[in-house]
Chains A and B, each alone.
Chain A
Amino acid sequence: MNRSAAEENLRVIRELMERATIYRAVSAPAALFCGLSALLVSGLALIPGPFQTLLQRNFALVWVVVCLLSVTANIFFLVRATELRQERFASYRLRTALLAIAPAFIVAIALTFFLTRAAGTELFIAVCWMALYGLALLSTMTFAPRSIVVLGWAFILTSVLILCVMTPVLVLAVSDRPNLAMEQVGYYAMAGSFGLYHTIYGVIVLFSARQDEHG
């Protein structure tokens, strides 16, 4: 065996190992849970009913609760998946993923504290969450599957689109009732992004996993 053949074999080994260490930081069932929860909460906040006023007055708090529940669900499903594979939950891959997403989450927490002090910032809070969540997902792109990268870009592009195109239109449209309308618009933004995107991601990933099992 010559040097180039040995190098080629080492390259194949390295590439295969990299591919095998792909880590899905957002599990599909947890994404589905998060998406459906977001759609349910948005529905309750937007459709007249007993919870509407409560939900609209506590926009940030409601979504923090949804976020915490979704994180709990994600941990549960990740633990279950690692148990099935007979691996340790606190793996090197998990630590790497957490370190990668931490900066975006820290900024999101700080911005949430800052922005919730002012009224009528619901849409802007939603846009910040979308952008920072997208950045968090994309920060894992070197070891994440393609679906996570696509999900990250979907959040980033949606937040940019809302900032560039939608915000001036919405501000003009709701200028007579800024506070209430912006809360509703915030819920629409959360339902359309966190709700819809996570539901689509969860269904597609679960469906393709089933296909792989049977295929």
Chain B
Amino acid sequence: MVDFNKLDRTIHEKGRLAIMTLLATRSRWPFQELKSALQMSDGNLVTHLRTLHQAGYVAVTKEVLDRPLTSYSMTERGRSAFKLYIETLEEIVKLGRG
């Protein structure tokens, strides 16, 4: 029996799931690249990133090179939560197949 409480509601939202997926592929994503890859508005992306940051899943790095650059990366906690989320989805699929 799948414990549906294991499905992390913070990650489960469509926009945040997409963000977590991209963050899982690289060590670091600049804001503009995330925005371009996800085709999200600035406001929407910032809101989702803030939620993930508050949950401790995403770390923010702000630096000034030739211009200000904000980058995001997945924390260890975020990686564990994302892994657990995928494992739960896989369990649901397996159970559905009988």
Give the interface of A toward B (CB within 8 A): 1-4, 6-7, 9-10, 12-13, 16-17, 19-21, 85-87, 212-213, 215
Of A3, A17, A85, A212, the residue contacting B24 (CB under 8 A) is A17
* B18-39 interface code vs A (CB 8 A; 1 in, 0 out): 1001101111100011001100
Cα(A12)–Cα(B89), bound, Å: 12
Chain B interface, >50% SS class:
helix
Asked if B17 and A9 sit within 8 Å, CB to CB, the answer is yes
B93 at interface (Cβ–Cβ under 8 A)?
yes
Q: List 27 A-B contacts (CB under 8 A).
A: A1-B92, A2-B92, A3-B95, A3-B97, A6-B93, A7-B93, A10-B86, A12-B14, A16-B18, A16-B22, A17-B21, A17-B24, A17-B25, A19-B37, A20-B21, A20-B22, A20-B25, A20-B37, A21-B25, A85-B26, A85-B27, A85-B28, A86-B27, A86-B28, A87-B26, A87-B27, A212-B32
**Residues of A contacting B92 in the complex (Cβ-Cβ under 8 angstroms):** 1-3, 6
6 nearest CB pairs, A to B = A3-B96, A6-B92, A20-B25, A16-B21, A6-B89, A13-B21
B34 CB, min distance to chain A CBs, angstroms: 10
Asked if A20 and B26 sit within 8 Å, CB to CB, the answer is yes
Cα(A17)–Cα(B26), bound, Å: 10
**Residues of A contacting B95 in the complex (Cβ-Cβ under 8 angstroms):** 3
A10 CB, min distance to chain B CBs, angstroms: 5
A207 CB, min distance to chain B CBs, angstroms: 15
**Residues of B contacting A9 in the complex (Cβ-Cβ under 8 angstroms):** 17, 89
B7 at interface (Cβ–Cβ under 8 A)?
yes
Give the interface of B toward A (CB within 8 A): 4, 7, 14, 17-18, 21-22, 24-28, 32-33, 36-37, 86, 89-90, 92-93, 95-97
Cα(A130)–Cα(B97), bound, Å: 50
Chain A CB within 10 A, most for which of B4, B36, B96: B96
Cα(A2)–Cα(B93), bound, Å: 8
Given A6-B89, A20-B26, check contact A12 B37 (CB 8 Å): no
A128 CB, min distance to chain B CBs, angstroms: 37
**Residues of B contacting A20 in the complex (Cβ-Cβ under 8 angstroms):** 21-22, 25-26, 37
Cα(A169)–Cα(B21), bound, Å: 55
Which residue from chain B places its CB closest to the CB of A13 in the assembled complex? B21
Cα(A13)–Cα(B16), bound, Å: 11
Asked if B25 and A1 sit within 8 Å, CB to CB, the answer is no
Which residue from chain B places its CB closest to the CB of A3 in the assembled complex? B96
Given A6-B93, A85-B26, check contact A13 B7 (CB 8 Å): no
A130 CB, min distance to chain B CBs, angstroms: 32
A sample of 19 more A-B contacts (CB under 8 A), given A7-B93, A7-B96, A9-B17, is A2-B92, A3-B95, A3-B96, A10-B89, A10-B90, A12-B18, A13-B17, A13-B21, A13-B86, A16-B18, A16-B21, A17-B21, A17-B24, A20-B21, A20-B22, A85-B26, A85-B27, A87-B28, A212-B33
